[in-house]
Amino acid sequence: MSVSYRQPGVVLTDRHFTVPLDHDDPSGETIELYAREVVAGDKAQWDLPWLVYLQGGPGFGANRFIGKQAWLGRALKEYRVLLLDQRGTGNSTPANRQTLPLRGGPREQADYLAHFRADSIVRDCETIRPAVTGGAPWTVLGQSFGGFCTVHYLSTAPEGLSAALITGGLPSLDAHADDVYRAAYPRIERKVAAHYRRYPQDVERARQIAEYLLRHEPVLNGGYRLTAEAFQSLGILLGGGEGSHRLHYLLEHAFVRTAQGPALSDAFQEDVRSVLSYAGHPLYALVHEACYGQGDRPTAWSAERVRAEFPQFDAAKALTGDGPVLFTGESVHPWTFDCDPALRPLRATADLLAERDDWAPLYDPVRLAANEVPVAAAVYHDDMYVDTEHALRTARGIRGLRTWVTDEFEHDGVRAGGPRVLDRLIALARDEI
């Protein structure tokens, strides 16, 4: 049963849907999807077109807005918005260390999780669209991984779309995960260098912390093992507009004096745990590299293998000289599962996903080249999470797609500058500018 309630300026309705786990077996097992319908309070009775939002990730539920925050206020001027918790996330049927053992062992869990990529998410959207819109096509707004889903949507079910808006999420149509990470590590190095130029005092702080971790390897509250490599992955913050500042403020209170000598402060440890823990979004770690899988070539822990080609990211080697300790970015490694108690029981499952060699293709270049859906995409210059060159090559392969390339925002531009970003994309898609 749907339940409606109010927040300042908006009316919200909880929506629940049942969809097949495997859309190729529609009479088989089902899972539940949750979505939150949002409409402006003064338009609650209006017949409005629909916009469905696909969150970044993978593995994150849709934003929990209060009122008309970020881009939502602009969208509500003319749309009803459906904030979809993609399968396995938010209030949809969860996939985590607590629920996955219900599937059986690691093999059964990996087979189950193979249904949690962009292809299944788009088929979910097409399954629920008739119940939401009465069969009318809708506009999709895809952020980051949500943009990957949107390009798959354009490849497989463009008839369901009236327009497609993409922010920081144009994937390569044919790159293997290795290609993605070979492009990513130099980009991450540039982001780290920019951070150290802004906050030169952090060079020595990061070296001191890494040296301490190589000697002590503390266990944080909740059982997270903080290794030097895990510490380096705090660089994921550098992909956001405020990320460099957040990282700096985190590092500045790393140590306290104790009776036994300098130690990592409780406050620092708790802040680090809150950034690094996957307890709230384990699906991100489990299927992150699988989202690049196409064809018979396994991803095989790509980020870890490719990292070995960039020895400057080795913290221990950096500490033997006077160079900086480099942070890393959006990547998942085998040791990620060893460090994080929310992931530790799922390590064998993750290994099996990394070995999988039967991934279905995600994108159809021929169909995209004949696209007739209005599409607009914000491409953030030197985006740390999505390679700009890959994104622009894909943009050229989608007929009629209009790009807005900007260095005004980082990867989180739709949140940080939401009303302006969404307004410009809508105008581009409508050929108004």
Please give the positions annotated as active site. 144, 358, 411
Strands across the sheet containing 80-85: 3-7, 10-20, 30-40, 80-85, 50-54, 138-143, 161-167, 375-380, 402-406
Q: What are phi and psi of 127, to 5 degrees?
A: -70, -40
Cβ(82)–Cβ(142) below 8 Å = no
Q: Cα–Cα distance between 191 and 196 in angstroms, integer?
A: 9
- Residues forming a β-bridge with 379: 405
56: phi > 0 → left, psi -120 to 50 → alpha, else beta; which?
beta
DSSP-assigned letter for residue 168 = S
Residues in Cβ contact with 168 at an 8 Å cutoff, skipping those fewer than 6 apart: 56, 143, 144, 147, 378, 379, 380, 383, 385, 386, 411, 412, 413, 414
Classify 341 in phi/psi space as left (phi over 0), alpha (psi -120 to 50) or beta: alpha
Count other C-beta atoms under 10 Å from residue 309's C-beta.
Answer: 11
Report which of 159, 302, 279 is spatially closest to residue 222, judged by C-alpha positions. 279
C-alpha 368: how far from chain center: 23
Q: Which distant-in-sequence residues (6+ apart) come within 8 Å of 218 by Cβ?
A: 225, 226, 264, 269
Angle at 153 between CA 366 and CA 364, to 5 degrees: 20
